[in-house]
Amino acid sequence: MGSRTWNTMRRLLHILLTIVQTALALLVGYLLLLTGAAWRQKRTTPARKSAPSHRFAILVPAHNEEKLLPQLLQNLQKLVYPTALFDVHVVADNCTDETAVLAQTHGAHVHERFHDTLRGKGYALQWLLDRLQTASTKYDAYVILDADSVVSANFLQVMDARLANGERVIQAYYAVQNPGQSGSISLRYAALAVLHFLRPQGRMALGGSAGLKGNGMVFAAEVMNGRSWTASLTEDIEFHMNLILAGERVTFAPDAIVWAEMPETLADSHTQNVRWEQGRLEMIRHYVPTLLKQAFQRRSFVLFDAAVEQLIPPFSILAGSSLLAWLAAVVVPGNRPQRRRSLGLSSAILLGQVVYLFAGLKLAEAPTAVYKALLGVPNFIIWKIGLYLQVALGKGAQGWVRTERNEN
Q: What are the tens digits of pLDDT across the range 177-213?
A: 988 888 888 988 999 999 999 999 999 999 999 999 9
- Domains annotated on the chain, with CATH: 13-41+285-392 (no CATH), 56-265 (3.90.550.10)
Spatial distance between the Cα atoms of 218 and 227, rounded to a whole number of angstroms: 15
What pLDDT, on a 0 to 100 scale, did the predictor assign at position 408? 47
Confidence of residue 35 (pLDDT cuts 50, 70, 90): very high
Residue of 196, 175, 170 whose CA lies nearest to 260: 175
User: According to the model, what pLDDT value does residue 406 have?
Assistant: 52
Whether the predicted pLDDT of 50 surpasses 60: yes
- pLDDT beyond 80 at 255: yes
Lowest mean pLDDT among 23-32, 248-257, 291-300, 307-316: 307-316
- Of the listed ranges 155-164, 313-322, 346-355, the least confidently predicted one is 313-322
pLDDT tens, residue by residue, 124-137: 999 999 999 988 88
* Greater pLDDT, 6 or 358: 358
**pLDDT at site 155:** 98
Nearest CA to 162 out of 181, 175, 143, 136 is that of 143
CB neighbourhood size of 185 (10 A)? 23
Q: Taking residues 364-385, what's their average pLDDT?
A: 86
User: What percent of the chain has pLDDT above 90?
Assistant: 63
Whether 59 has a pLDDT exceeding 70, the answer reads yes
Q: What is the average pLDDT across 76-101? A: 96
